[in-house]
Amino acid sequence: MENKKNNHFRFSLLFASIFAVFTSCEREISDEVEFATFPATGDIFTDDPIGLGTFFYFPYGPSPENPPGSKPTAWSVDNEVSYEGDASMRFDVPNADDPEGNFAGAIFRIDGEGSGRDLTGFDALTFWAKASQNVTINEMGFGEDFGENKYVTTRQNVPLTTNWVKYIIPIPDPSKLVRERGMFRYAAGSVNELGYTFWVDELRFEKLGTVAQPQPAIFSGQDLVQQTFNGSELNVTGITQTYNLANGVNQTVVAAPSYFTFSSSNPNAVQVSSLGEISVVGEGTAKVSALIAGVKAKGSLEITSTGNIVSAPTPQAPAAEVISLFSNQYDNVPVTTFRADFGNTEISDIAVNGDDFKLYSNLNFVGIQFPTIDATGKSSLFLDIYTNDVANGNFQVQVRDQGTNGELNTNIFTGQPIEDDAETRLDLSPSQLTPGQWITIEVPLTGGLTNQKSNISQIVFVGDIDFLMDNLYFR
């Protein structure tokens, strides 16, 4: 009830302000209409932290992927070292085996939920920095607030030297930053497991006036093509903004999706959220592109959905009998790569209604490689494939045992196994690949593998069809 009332109040306020705007030739907007404004302060650290409040330093801390996390005490104010004035920010990057944390990394966030700065008048975050040795800092930037992280901006691989140098991190689109709390962020790892120290001074947002000639990009500037199916979810990746600086350098930063406006040329087939999440909602073709501050980003993704997809039949084999490489039905063993790099095949992950598939497109010759599997006692490799293509020539599956010498040995001219490797191959003719339905392929571990299948480490697909693959396992 209260909520509703509140909405009503907002609505009338909106109306009032629209009215005020329409009539503003003669009148100022009413005093009762207050637009929130935030300080346009640029300085973050000169000799002390500026205007950040009491609690502003938040280390990344432990994460599931990296349990040791970042060392909480890596940052301090150094009163002995400074570029200007009498203090700088000091960052002690720990050794890789430091029990308190195996890297240094944190955000500097203005204290207080309602806080923030208006950064629309600036064009870059700048600072002076040096290090105890020549070193590359993995990430430095701003816009991370551990909330929406809406405008995270990161310059990667910042090359510090032992001399003070000024560094510039361009703001991808300043007009977006009407209220930003994430003033600074960094992440720095050890070098050859050893720590070091770096210093940052005179950290501030600035209007340089020389940040120009934007060259934004999505998908790393590539024009990509993707076949997929209704219900699949993809992301806009490779999102960057590049500005030319006064010294002629083109400085690229990794930019959060929210700086961009995404569009789909065919919303009946493909929709894109403001966070760059792509939803394939219907059959057809659509091109995903992006704009930032009126400039079209280089790169696009043309998506064709061939319609609804049905899941592959659920494998019936008991889990205890299979060694699975890729299936939602089983626990999977590790796979090093689904795209061993000897062809132009594109592979994408597709998830529809919680079921995962690998989509192979532009197939010619592609390998799946994995730590050796002992398939002794297994009779076959199984996989399910689904294609809409009419095959032109055979589709072939190769299964390779690498023997005991710890590596694959292949005649690079014939593709045949040499040294202690052994192999079996199965060819399927076009008539065996019925388009528009799931086909289960069984590759008997016979031929060269009859007596050698304890070190299987590679599966190869050869052919010219685009296909979905699921349920890849030995049984």
Contact positions vs other proteins (CB under 8 A): 207-210, 212-213, 215, 244, 246-248, 250
Q: Could you give the C-alpha distances from 231 to 90, 408, 423, in angstroms and in order? A: 49, 38, 38
* Alpha-carbon span 312 to 379, nearest angstrom: 22
Burial readout 72-89 (b: 16 or more C-beta within 10 A, e: otherwise):
eebbeebeeebbeeebbb
- Of the candidates 418, 396, 420, 406, the one whose C-alpha atom is nearest the C-alpha of residue 457 is 406
- Of the candidates 153, 112, 332, the one whose C-alpha atom is nearest the C-alpha of residue 239 is 153
CB of 248 to other proteins, least distance (A): 3
3-class secondary structure for 197-245? EEEEEEEEEECCCCCECCCCECHHHCEEEEEECCCCEEECCCCEEEEEC
* Alpha-carbon span 402 to 456, nearest angstrom: 6
CB of 250 to other proteins, least distance (A): 5
What is the identity of the amino acid at 92?
D
Neighbours of 114 (CB within 10 A): 9
Cα 233–Cα 236–Cα 242 angle in degrees, nearest 5: 175
Nearer to other proteins among residue 250 and residue 273 (C-beta): 250
CB of 127 to other proteins, least distance (A): 18
Nearer to other proteins among residue 173 and residue 423 (C-beta): 173
CB of 205 to other proteins, least distance (A): 14
Nearer to other proteins among residue 13 and residue 249 (C-beta): 249
Return the residue matching tokens 């991190």: 169
CB of 168 to other proteins, least distance (A): 13
- Of the candidates 263, 267, 270, 180, the one whose C-alpha atom is nearest the C-alpha of residue 226 is 270
CB of 212 to other proteins, least distance (A): 5
Work out whether strand 300-305 and strand 223-228 pair parallel, antiparallel, or are unpaired. Answer: parallel
Nearer to other proteins among residue 212 and residue 351 (C-beta): 212
Q: How many residues does the chain have?
A: 475
Nearer to other proteins among residue 21 and residue 249 (C-beta): 249
Residues whose CB falls within 8 Å of the CB of residue 7, separated by 6 or more in sequence, listed in order: none
Nearer to other proteins among residue 96 and residue 245 (C-beta): 245
Q: Is 378 helix (H, G, I), strand (E, B) or coil?
A: coil
CB of 222 to other proteins, least distance (A): 15
Burial readout 305-321 (b: 16 or more C-beta within 10 A, e: otherwise):
beeebebbeebeeeeee
CB of 243 to other proteins, least distance (A): 11
Nearer to other proteins among residue 215 and residue 230 (C-beta): 215
CB of 244 to other proteins, least distance (A): 6
Nearer to other proteins among residue 247 and residue 392 (C-beta): 247
Nearer to other proteins among residue 76 and residue 213 (C-beta): 213
Copy the structure tokens of residue 318. 């008991």
Q: Is 6 helix (H, G, I), strand (E, B) or coil?
A: helix
Nearer to other proteins among residue 67 and residue 209 (C-beta): 209
Residues whose CB falls within 8 Å of the CB of residue 367, separated by 6 or more in sequence, listed in order: 337, 339, 340, 342, 458, 459, 460, 461
CB of 245 to other proteins, least distance (A): 9
